[in-house]
Amino acid sequence: MPKLKTHSGAKKRLKISKNGKVIRAHANTSHLFNGHGKTAKWKRHNRGTAVTDKTNVKAVKKMLPYA
């Protein structure tokens, strides 16, 4: 059986933790992060990473077959 290809977009944006959870970055944090109506609470809660919802885990793991 041939090797499976890893999805290029997924490998740049997602990571599988040691426990099998899918780690992702928060959305809407790449542009105009300082000021411009973004509250301190919003910035604090969107810092770092988050765990992907369980409804998307199966699809993500299919895109990252060797992770």
pTM for the full predicted model = 0.80
The residue segments making up the domain with residue 37 are 8-63
**What tokens appear for 56 in the block?**
């998307």
The domain tally of the chain equals: 1
Q: Which residues of the chain have pLDDT under 70?
A: none
Residue 4: its pLDDT value, please? 95
**Do the domain assignments include residue 2?**
no
Residue 13: its pLDDT value, please? 96
The side-by-side arrangement of strands in the sheet containing 22-25 is 15-16, 22-25, 49-51
CATH of the domain at 21: 4.10.410
| Under 8 Å between Cβ of 23 and 14 | yes
**What tokens appear for 61 in the block?**
């793991």
